[in-house]
Amino acid sequence: MEYKTQARQRILDCMAENPDRIFRASELAQSLPEVSLSTVYRNLSRLEKAGVVQIVGAEANNELQYRYTGPGRCEAKMHLVCKKCGKFFHLDGTALKMLQLSLQRIKGFELDQQQSVLLGRCSGCSRRRAHNG
């Protein structure tokens, strides 16, 4: 990767302090008022190419969402991401093996765990939604 700028380091620090969250560029820019939105976008693009952050999808307004992958983080795990609160959960063990075997058997598809994210709603957000109607 190229040299580190102060802005890039601040973005990385913010994401690394919250490794189980997904971020939108606009959220990072709000959290880091000294870093402009265009600088956040530019650095997220560079960090994604360097493998330090991963794009995990887009919201309804097409704004990309990112997660910190950092060196050696979660190399062999698939993730579940709550679209409501942005929290990350690891999917491993029996559930992951069953999913992999099913995909392989039914579609002949080999899953890349490291790049795979399933989007949905966590149990806490589901309960709040059911309670609030």
Tens-digit pLDDT profile for residues 28-80: 999 999 999 999 999 999 998 888 888 877 666 678 888 888 766 665 567 78
pTM of the model: 0.66
Q: Please give the CATH superfamily to which domain 74-133 belongs.
A: Ferric-uptake regulator, C-terminal dimerisarion domain (3.30.1490.190)
CB atoms within 10 A of CB 46: 16
Task: Please give the structure tokens belonging to residue 92.
Answer: 């491993």
**Domain assignments of the chain as residue spans, ordered by start:** 1-73, 74-133
> Which residues are CB-neighbours of 56 under 8 A, at least 6 positions away?
22, 65, 66, 67, 79, 81, 117, 119
Distance (Å) of CA 41 to CA 60, 66, 116: 18, 11, 22
The alpha carbon of 133 is separated from its chain's Cα centroid by a whole number of angstroms, namely: 28
d(CA 116, CA 133): 31
Q: What is the pLDDT of residue 26?
A: 93
Topology at the third CATH level for domain 1-73? Arc Repressor Mutant, subunit A (1.10.10)
Average pLDDT over residues 118-127: 87
Lowest mean pLDDT across 2-6, 33-37, 69-73, 93-97: 69-73
Q: What is the pLDDT of residue 19?
A: 80
d(CA 65, CA 55): 6
Whether the CB-CB separation of 23 and 15 falls below 8 Å is answered with: yes
Q: Which candidate, 49, 45, 14, 17, places its Cα nearest to that of 29?
A: 14
Q: Helix, strand or coil for residue 85?
A: coil
Q: What is the pLDDT of residue 68?
A: 86
